Structure 1
Amino acid sequence: MIALITPTCPTPKATTETPVLISGAGPTGLFAGILLAKMNIPCRIIEREFEISPLSKALGIHARTQEILDMTDPSLLQEFMDQGFMMPNIHIYYNGKLAGEIKALPNKESHFKKVLYLIQNKTVKILADAFEKASGTKVDRGWELIDTKVVEGSSADGDSWVETTMRRAVVGTNKRAGEANQIFGTLELVEEDEEKRYEYEVVKSRYLIGADGGRSAVRHKINMPFPGRTRNVNMIIFDGILDTTIDLEKMNVINGNGHRLVAMLPLGEKDRVRIVFVKGFLEPEEFELQKSKPIIVEEFQQMLDDAVSPLQLKITKVNWLTYYRVNERRAQEYSYKGRIFLAGDAAHVHSPAGGQGMNTGLQDAYNLAWKMAMVINGTAPSTLLNSYSEERTAIGDEIIQLSSESLEGIWAGNLIQRCVRRVAVALAPIILRLVANRAPKMSMLGLRYYESSLNKSHKTQKASASDVGAIGCRARDGPLVPFLGRIDSGHNSDSESSHISNGPTDTSGKEGENRSNNSESDEGSNYDRHHSRTANNMTSDDTVRLHELMAHPGVFQILVFTGNLWKHRPAAASELVQSLEHYLAKWRSTWPSSGSLPVESNENKESLRPQFMVHVLTTVSASEAATAAQFLAARRNVVGEGKVHTDVGKMLHKRYGIDAAAAKNEGKGAIVVIRPDSHISYRVRGVGQSAWEDVHGYFESILI
């Protein structure tokens, strides 16, 4: 039951302004703040709780999320790597015995091969520190949002803004008398507690991001419908320390007595686990009756004993113990009057099966922040923000469906109970096929935005029937070396006999050690991350990944695939330089970026943050196109300014659906536009003048 009684407050003591107000300092709100700060947009994050919750909550960080963290700030991902651990193997128990082991298979789509595990309070601490570093401000804790609305401007200017009223307890906390200590359920906005004093503030902002969880005050105050269903699966969630002979460093699934399921996930601390206990099914009235009686440790211990016998799981410490009811709901829209936006659990909730929740929220922020920054900076029309709800509601539906299928197939025990009676040899292939079929979606690498006002196919060129490099797909990664590559000793870089060595770089040291455990050989190419991240300090010995070159939040990346064009038409190199110089200058003058981006250089000065970066990818070596090599090496030596890289093993040409071997004339090759959240938004065949003009037309269609 939801009580929406707005407190009667005295005249606010303060009125402040900020471009963006973010309600909620969980992972979604913090990541949105980090992204905005990196794009030079001031924002303020408010959070009702005075301290970071100690509850473990979300755990898994999928491959796609690792990619976006890395492209946002490599040091940010490194913090997660240092504190987290990779997904362990899964042990399956039946009749009190280990029936089989399922290996945690690496995905083949990303440099980041496995799920990274880290308890949410550590995730929040890392993100909060990163927000403070990026913005120079801290999360404003203790503030409770009690009202928000969009205020329409006068008829003269026709503008609007968001007006948000919030309060903070002067003494004590914001927790009200009789309020349940649970993180799931409905929201209650009630009158002030007696004998408690509050301070009030009204915040005027251009935009408000509601990232305040499943019981979102923002969603309630704008009366946004939250349709969906409540599942009748009856779960208990436990976080604590166990005494047992079971290997707690593995993920363990116990098919218990009475068709009960016990799933245990390690939390990275000795003997500490998360237990998801599925104890059957309850009708809504039965669940409400159960919830009214607080669960006690002794009662839960008896449930475990009954379910897992003859195995033993003795509870020695409890951090968190709660009943949990699965809700599958999605806000009708993620935006309200073009000013208020919902993200994370405020926009969508579903079962914990598959660990998609926090990842989806972080990717909501990744989709929204760059659009909001461009509009605030004046480099895009406000209509660009319409694509946020359009794109992310579709993803929300897909994730809810995926988690629902996982719940029915695994957490409810149906699949395992059917299969686990078989010997482990027969069990493993069945489970592995299931995992393989769902891997791209479970890792969130296969999620795609489809054609829209932002993602456009070429007007006359027929799109490929294949999904390889298609519009809306994630920008795929791959190894690159600077065009001249590694020159053998005794050869001059201008010599036609020079050739490229594509061997792996030296990754000695902590970063290389940490990353190597998460990086495996990919399609025959063995490559690792390199220490160097800055454009100006790359040498001919550097091997990089494409995503490393794209580690600039808020920037459109233009990939120019030339294949072996210069082998057949060396003069095309100079033609290409003229085109990219002309259009790069034209785009930057038409849509100038504000703010500055630190760049390491001899002068150690700052330069304007680029809005557009161009990367040229070729499959020919210096010996095959010496004239082009000399010309381009002299003119294009800064990443993002048209610097040329060799596509190792033609891998990226293949991954973007481009025939490298056929690029013998101006009509071959391709230009691919990667939007700031690293999804393909436009592509055109050819690299000549007409192709560049088409790309310019695309930018005009979305930015004017």
Structure 2
Amino acid sequence: MRGHGDDEVDVLICGGGPVGLLTAYCLARFGGVSSYVVEQHERSKQITYGRAAMIAPRTLEMLDQLDLADALGQIGFVVRGQVSYKHGERVESLTAASSNISDTFFDYLLLCRQRYTEEVIRDGYDRYSRRSVHYGARLVDFSVGSRDEEYAVKSAVETKDKGTISVRSKYIIGADGGRSRVRELAGIKFEGEKSNRHWIRIDGVVETNMPEARKGICGIESPSHGSILWACLDHGVTRVGFAMPEQLWEEIGANISREDVTREAQKALQPFTLEFKTVDWWTVYSVGQRLAAKYRKDERVFLAGDAAHTHSSGAAQGMNTGLHDAVNLSWKLAGRINSWLSEEALDTYAAERRPIAQRIIEQDKIISMLTGGEIPEQLKGDSDADAHELLTKTYRKNTSMNTGLGITYPADGLTVVASKTTLSQKIRPGERAPDVLVQRPGLRVPVRLHSITKNRGRFTVMLFCGDLNHTQASCKNFREYLDDPTSFLRYPVDIFQGVTIIAGSNEAGSPDERLGTPSFGDTCYDVDGLAHDRYGIPTSKGAVVVTRPDGTIGTVYGFGSGASLSRYFEGFVAVQKRVGLDSQRTSESVPNSGTGEVDLEREDGSQKNRRVVYETG
């Protein structure tokens, strides 16, 4: 029961950094889920220029589908190349951080300091939400009631302007960093260790005689400071980063000053000169890797971002991984709160995201040692390569992970590999859906498929119709299935959007006339056949590709597999329970109660009548 003065909200989000803000933004965008974001630091007073800066290609794709990438692109520094130096001479790239990026239109890194990233996301959140971020507020305590309570989480929040307030929520999310209060109160272990290695990061406006200093990213091999990071940031600022020599740490330690770190930066950059005209931000931090034992507890408590995983900034994966956490969690949580998705769908958040963090941490352990000039035990048998050469190999080996483009999820209820795996040899469920160029009816200017399939918390059902000279009959049959009361469109939920893609010219005619039936969603044309080719779908057959809201391929079916597609959605869409079905399960329209005859579609497209019993639940 609601207590006097309690505030009720769907989700309490602790942490107003990029991860917490993006989660709140997505929840509001995906069905109007309300959130209350509390952040203990006063952003207007705290120096927040530094911290995370690199936004990877896959993250940019995801932000673009959320209508946030354009604003960030107006601020950040675009990096498509880099240079490396050793003893003042240009050499082969030491990190290859911005090379080998392919299969995306965001084929670059965007360097934008965290303050500006937060501003862009917060502006988006303010457009969707009646409540803005509450700065100067921190979580004091929370408890989780019975699972039958709607607002089962009761929290005490200490604020500077309103005193301590009580908040009731359906869920609570800890996006409050490595020292997460939510994780601490939930009793979730933070497993891992810290090393004795310390890294320095300095942001400022600099002058140097190093060639191509504003190229974007420079890798500099220093005999005294390991591999030096040189990154061009927004507003003419440069970030210089390097490993702090052990001897210096032993001599100065916690008493290190700005003068000390700038002097070390000048030594590290030799033989090039370096002068800091301004210093916006600097930090010294110990390198360590930690992973939360659980991402979810008591059904109502979730962790995301640094609250769930921490590692060095060597591969710039911290914020990127956290933003991926936010997108993955938010669409599932919004679907559950709106009674669109089942509890099992929400369970997949931890199952999908935690293994990704584990992989990043294992990679980071190697990178952090190599950056400081140490060679990990497992790499010591790699011929006579030194730490810098091994660092280059490590980055190149993990390019798909570092860019985010190669992140995949295992098969689960949301990611299903159909039995007919020969439908496509180029894409598989669990992978990122490729972005390709298509054309709208009549327009000769190409448009990206990802810009058509924006992320609004819905599953996108893409009908790759192929060449209609060969596929028109099967496309028409599938369209009839969609209109039938046995199709997945019968579900009273707002989580489906359609796209119809026709191979061929868009010069003349209307989409419906070409198809011989109403199109499903917006229609676009694959004029040169390259979209079908990238998805590995023969234009002589066509196929149905389902992508999840986060842009991950959910499943792929042929046009004759309507019943299978209905069963796919039946696995996680929150609808009435069914009883009395035999082992050959199918999807059918579910009335409130009683019995009835329904037409069921077989795998081959034929029909069969079956007597079924319905029970609401």
Same fold per TM (> 0.5)? yes
**SS of residue paired to 2:188:** coil
The answer to whether the Cα contact below 8 Å between 2:27 and 2:334 also exists between their aligned partners in 1 is yes
Give the letter for the 2:555 counterpart: Y
- Select the residue among 256, 263, 284 that pairs with 1:323: 284
- Select the residue among 41, 53, 64 that pairs with 2:58: 64
1:81-160 alignment, distance < 5 Å: 81-87=73-79, 89-99=81-91, 104-105=98-99, 107-152=101-146, 157=148
Q: Which runs of 5+ in 2 are unaligned?
A: 575-617
The answer to whether the Cα contact below 8 Å between 1:261 and 1:413 also exists between their aligned partners in 2 is no
1:232-243 alignment, distance < 5 Å: 232-243=196-207
The answer to whether the Cα contact below 8 Å between 2:150 and 2:170 also exists between their aligned partners in 1 is no
2:452 matched to which residue of 1?
549
Quote the offset at 1:588 in angstroms: 4.3
Quote the offset at 1:261 in angstroms: 3.6
Quote the offset at 1:325 in angstroms: 1.0
Give the letter for the 1:677 counterpart: D
Instruction: Please list the CA deviations of residues 460-500 of structure 1 after superposition, one character each: whole Å capped at 9, or x if unmatched.
Output: 4357895x311111111111124xx54xxxxxxxxxxxxxx
**Cα distance in structure 1, aligned partners of 2:352 and 2:233:** 33
**SS of residue paired to 2:179:** coil
Instruction: Please list the CA deviations of residues 549-574 of structure 1 after superposition, one character each: whole Å capped at 9, or x if unmatched.
Output: 2114111111222323x313544443
Quote the offset at 1:366 in angstroms: 0.5
- Select the residue among 449, 469, 492 that pairs with 1:591: 492
The answer to whether the Cα contact below 8 Å between 1:587 and 1:612 also exists between their aligned partners in 2 is no
**Cα distance in structure 2, aligned partners of 1:293 and 1:400:** 26
1:693 matched to which residue of 2?
563
**SS of residue paired to 1:318:** coil
2:327 matched to which residue of 1?
366
Q: Does 1:256 align with 2:229?
A: no
**Cα distance in structure 2, aligned partners of 1:409 and 1:618:** 50
The answer to whether the Cα contact below 8 Å between 1:617 and 1:644 also exists between their aligned partners in 2 is yes
1:568 matched to which residue of 2?
470
- Select the residue among 647, 670, 676 that pairs with 2:549: 676
1:29 matched to which residue of 2?
20
- Select the residue among 630, 636, 642 that pairs with 2:513: 630
The answer to whether the Cα contact below 8 Å between 1:244 and 1:314 also exists between their aligned partners in 2 is yes
1:451 matched to which residue of 2?
411
The answer to whether the Cα contact below 8 Å between 1:80 and 1:126 also exists between their aligned partners in 2 is yes
1:477 matched to which residue of 2?
435
> How big is the alpha-carbon RMSD for the aligned residues of Structure 1 and Structure 2?
3.3
**Cα distance in structure 2, aligned partners of 1:559 and 1:221:** 44
Give the letter for the 2:42 counterpart: F
**Cα distance in structure 1, aligned partners of 2:472 and 2:360:** 48
> In structure 2, do the counterparts of structure 1 residues 294 and 699 end up closer, same or farther at CA, with 3 Å as the change threshold?
same
> In structure 2, do the counterparts of structure 1 residues 13 and 461 end up closer, same or farther at CA, with 3 Å as the change threshold?
same
- Select the residue among 482, 488, 493 that pairs with 1:580: 482
Quote the offset at 1:148 in angstroms: 1.8
1:1-16 alignment, distance < 5 Å: 14-16=5-7
The answer to whether the Cα contact below 8 Å between 1:480 and 1:645 also exists between their aligned partners in 2 is yes
> In structure 2, do the counterparts of structure 1 residues 618 and 419 end up closer, same or farther at CA, with 3 Å as the change threshold?
same
**Cα distance in structure 2, aligned partners of 1:296 and 1:553:** 47
1:361-400 alignment, distance < 5 Å: 361-400=322-361
2:572 matched to which residue of 1?
702
- Select the residue among 511, 536, 541 that pairs with 1:657: 536
**Cα distance in structure 1, aligned partners of 2:114 and 2:509:** 53
> In structure 2, do the counterparts of structure 1 residues 622 and 38 end up closer, same or farther at CA, with 3 Å as the change threshold?
closer
**Cα distance in structure 2, aligned partners of 1:277 and 1:592:** 52
2:272 matched to which residue of 1?
311
The answer to whether the Cα contact below 8 Å between 2:232 and 2:238 also exists between their aligned partners in 1 is yes
- Select the residue among 395, 399, 411 that pairs with 1:439: 399
**SS of residue paired to 2:281:** strand
**Cα distance in structure 2, aligned partners of 1:97 and 1:128:** 44
> In structure 2, do the counterparts of structure 1 residues 253 and 592 end up closer, same or farther at CA, with 3 Å as the change threshold?
closer
2:420 matched to which residue of 1?
461
Quote the offset at 1:407 in angstroms: 2.9
Quote the offset at 1:300 in angstroms: 2.7
**SS of residue paired to 1:660:** coil
**Cα distance in structure 2, aligned partners of 1:574 and 1:315:** 67
The answer to whether the Cα contact below 8 Å between 2:423 and 2:556 also exists between their aligned partners in 1 is no
**Cα distance in structure 2, aligned partners of 1:166 and 1:438:** 41
1:205-216 alignment, distance < 5 Å: 205-216=169-180
Give the letter for the 2:479 counterpart: V
Quote the offset at 1:331 in angstroms: 0.6
The answer to whether the Cα contact below 8 Å between 1:464 and 1:470 also exists between their aligned partners in 2 is no
- Select the residue among 34, 45, 49 that pairs with 1:42: 34
2:185 matched to which residue of 1?
221
Quote the offset at 1:399 in angstroms: 2.0
2:241 matched to which residue of 1?
276
Quote the offset at 1:214 in angstroms: 1.1
> In structure 2, do the counterparts of structure 1 residues 421 and 141 end up closer, same or farther at CA, with 3 Å as the change threshold?
closer
> In structure 2, do the counterparts of structure 1 residues 13 and 245 end up closer, same or farther at CA, with 3 Å as the change threshold?
farther
Q: Does 1:17 align with 2:8?
A: yes
**SS of residue paired to 1:341:** strand
**Cα distance in structure 2, aligned partners of 1:293 and 1:642:** 60
**Cα distance in structure 1, aligned partners of 2:99 and 2:535:** 25
> In structure 2, do the counterparts of structure 1 residues 107 and 702 end up closer, same or farther at CA, with 3 Å as the change threshold?
same
Q: Which runs of 5+ in 1 are unaligned?
A: 1-11, 171-197, 487-539, 594-610, 664-668
The answer to whether the Cα contact below 8 Å between 2:225 and 2:372 also exists between their aligned partners in 1 is no
**Cα distance in structure 1, aligned partners of 2:341 and 2:475:** 32
**SS of residue paired to 1:702:** coil
Quote the offset at 1:332 in angstroms: 0.9
**SS of residue paired to 1:630:** helix
The answer to whether the Cα contact below 8 Å between 2:479 and 2:517 also exists between their aligned partners in 1 is no
Quote the offset at 1:450 in angstroms: 0.8
Q: Indicate the percent of aligned positions where both proteins have the same amino acid.
A: 28
The answer to whether the Cα contact below 8 Å between 1:574 and 1:628 also exists between their aligned partners in 2 is no
> In structure 2, do the counterparts of structure 1 residues 631 and 573 end up closer, same or farther at CA, with 3 Å as the change threshold?
farther
Quote the offset at 1:308 in angstroms: 3.7
Give the letter for the 2:515 counterpart: L
Give the letter for the 2:476 counterpart: S
> In structure 2, do the counterparts of structure 1 residues 339 and 412 end up closer, same or farther at CA, with 3 Å as the change threshold?
farther
Quote the offset at 1:394 in angstroms: 1.1
> In structure 2, do the counterparts of structure 1 residues 649 and 419 end up closer, same or farther at CA, with 3 Å as the change threshold?
farther
> In structure 2, do the counterparts of structure 1 residues 106 and 256 end up closer, same or farther at CA, with 3 Å as the change threshold?
closer
**Cα distance in structure 2, aligned partners of 1:62 and 1:473:** 17
Give the letter for the 1:273 counterpart: T
1:514 matched to which residue of 2?
none
Give the letter for the 1:72 counterpart: L
**Cα distance in structure 1, aligned partners of 2:402 and 2:16:** 26
Give the letter for the 1:277 counterpart: F
**Cα distance in structure 2, aligned partners of 1:549 and 1:38:** 17
**Cα distance in structure 1, aligned partners of 2:488 and 2:367:** 45
- Select the residue among 613, 620, 625 that pairs with 2:497: 613
Quote the offset at 1:545 in angstroms: 1.7
Instruction: Please list the CA deviations of residues 74-119 of structure 1 after superposition, one character each: whole Å capped at 9, or x if unmatched.
Output: xx21110111121153332222444456884362211111011101
